[in-house]
């Protein structure tokens, strides 16, 4: 069991597409007509982290959020700094396509 957990933690990082989207221009009051333009595309490697490691990375980097692959479940998770100073954690459920 310990070797399986170690192998899971050492699994390669998950690659995910990432995009930079053009922000609406200042004075664009017509939000409903906004059609964002992708101005850059790349592949981002999501680190496989525990929640505590992701929180530590959030604190060390000063980033607004950290998107990572959960070390235990393998699902994509998000850690973010809340307006009240606490840390938020989003752990979405597995979605079964077609159900």
List the CATH code of the domain at 2-90: 3.30.505.50
Strand segments (E) across 1-99: 14-21, 38-46, 48-49, 65-70, 76-81, 87-90
Structure tokens at 64: 């607004």
Nearest-10 Cα torsion for 78, 81, 84, 89: 20
| The two structure tokens encoding residue 29 | 């009051």
Report yes or no on whether pTM surpasses 0.85.
no
Q: Read off the pLDDT of residues 5-62 as tens digits, 9 standing for 90 and up.
A: 444 455 667 888 888 888 877 665 556 677 888 989 999 899 999 999 999 999 999 9
Domain boundaries, the chain: 2-90
């Amino acid at each position: 069991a310990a070797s399986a957990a170690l192998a899971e933690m050492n699994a390669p990082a998950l690659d995910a597409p990432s995009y930079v989207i053009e922000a609406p221009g200042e004075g664009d009051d017509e939000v409903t007509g906004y059609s964002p333009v992708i101005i850059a595309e790349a592949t981002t490697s999501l680190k496989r982290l525990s929640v505590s490691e992701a929180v530590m990375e959030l604190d060390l980097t000063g980033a607004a959020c950290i998107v990572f692959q959960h070390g235990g479940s393998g699902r994509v998770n998000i850690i973010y700094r809340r307006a009240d100073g606490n840390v938020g954690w989003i752990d979405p459920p597995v979605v079964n396509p077609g159900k």
